[in-house]
Amino acid sequence: MKRTTKILLALLVLLIVGRLLLPYVVLRYVNKVLADMGSYTGRIEDVNIALLRGAYQIEDLRIRKINGKVKEPFLYIPKADLSIEWKSLFKGELVGEVEAYEPELNFAFSNNESERQTGEEVDWTVLVKDLLPIQINRFAVINGRIDLASLITKPRADLSMQRFNGEIRNIRNVEEVTGKLPSPVWATGDIPGYGGTMRFDANMYLLKPMPDFNYDLRFTNIEMTKLNEMARAYANIDFERGRLNVFSEMAMNDGKLNGYVKPLTKEMKIFKLDENDNRSVGRFFTELLAQGGTALLKNQKLDQVATRIPLSGTVDDVKTGLWPTIFGVLRNAYIQAFKGEFDNDITFKDALSNFREDLKEKRAERKAERKEKREKRKEERQQRREQRREGRP
């Protein structure tokens, strides 16, 4: 056998052995990364390598909080696919994409540290970079579930979003897109506990600590009777029937917000004379007054109570307009009913204009401060001149 043939056979054997050992090497590496996450830890059960696709799949990923009392893991993903995004590679960019199949994300809110599970202690971007060393350009969720336990603590209100699907594309701005928000985002989900659905659509710029965005968000066909525990606690009423739809548009630029929330109720009924649930006298009259107010403020033709709540300000200080909200209720009842759709009057330029107005205000403040300092220095010089004059013989 020729020497060249022996070398080729040896290389082939090494490649075969390397391919056989590669899943075990990757499995050990991934579990080592997941084991060292500070207050959280995790592991996977198996890894499948697909060299031709430039990808690997991880199976049964579980991440839980160390010394936590929450039974469910913070994150469970039966299967995730991490691979090179080939269409971007053909454009000369080496970036990756991640697809998570049937993931479950379990949040728990509590003042007790051992009962709280929010994941805020971990920098998840670092974890993803460790698992896929190249930059991520696309992230997708297929048929997921998100549970938020004790989202409101008193009274306790849980929220579960099922059949959750979503996608973020062009995270690294590989595709040349006109405008300042190059990354499209969408998400949908069912809210079985409240009988409604959710739809989220946005364009974002994600390559900054606080992303810029312009989003549309809607919740539709929420059963108001499912809100009775909160209604009893905060308003001393409960609903006999009704459906709630919520529409919201929001734009943010450098932390400056501009948008609105538009709630619409249909066929809402609060008061029932022969209600048999040990209703107190106080709640009897509260519900009676609320029903009377609803009758006065609803659009009779559509059996609808609605308004539009304007939102503005910053992430840390969101302001709402009281009088526009009140006028919105009256407008819906007596002038023109709000439609169950987006108003389509919020754009990214609105947030940008707010940002520019803020800059103008800051420049005006600095100009006023400089003027005040000049006046003060002028007065001090005048005082020194007068003192020198008084000191002359």
- Residue by residue, DSSP assigns 143-184 as EEEEEEEEEETTTTEEEEEEEEEEEE--TT--S--SSS--EE
pLDDT digits (tens, 9 = 90+) for 167-216: 999 988 777 666 678 899 999 999 988 889 999 999 998 888 788 999 99
Residue type present at position 110: S
Choice among 66-80, 125-139, 268-282, 379-393 with the minimum mean pLDDT: 379-393
Residue type present at position 64: R
In angstroms, the CA 89 to CA 97 distance is: 12
Orientation angle between helical segments 3-35 and 124-131, nearest 10 degrees: 160
Per-residue b or e along 14-37, where b marks 16 or more CB atoms closer than 10 Å to that residue's CB: eeeeeeeeeeeebbeebbeebeeb
Among candidate residues 68, 139, 140, 80, the one with its CA nearest the CA of residue 107: 68
> Residue 6: which pLDDT band, with cuts at 50, 70 and 90?
low
In angstroms, the CA 7 to CA 206 distance is: 50
Highest mean pLDDT among 118-127, 171-180, 247-256, 348-357: 247-256
pLDDT higher than threshold 70 for residue 1:
no
Residue type present at position 296: L
> Residue 297: which pLDDT band, with cuts at 50, 70 and 90?
confident
For residue 201, give the H/E element and its range: strand 196-205
pLDDT higher than threshold 80 for residue 116:
yes
Across the chain, mean pLDDT equals 83
pLDDT for 11 = 67
Place of tokens 């539009």: 308
**Which value, to the nearest 10 degrees, does the dihedral of the CA atoms of residues 25, 31, 32, 38 take?**
170
Q: What is the DSSP letter of 306?
A: E
> Residue 246: which pLDDT band, with cuts at 50, 70 and 90?
very high
Whether the Cβ atoms of residue 57 and residue 83 lie closer than 8 Å to each other = no
In angstroms, the CA 181 to CA 183 distance is: 6
pLDDT for 153 = 66
Cite the DSSP H helix spans in 36-139: 86-89, 124-131
> Residue 94: which pLDDT band, with cuts at 50, 70 and 90?
confident
Give the DSSP letter string of 247-293. Answer: EEEEEEETTEEEEEEEEEEEEEE---TT--S---HHHHHHHHHHHHH
Residue type present at position 75: L
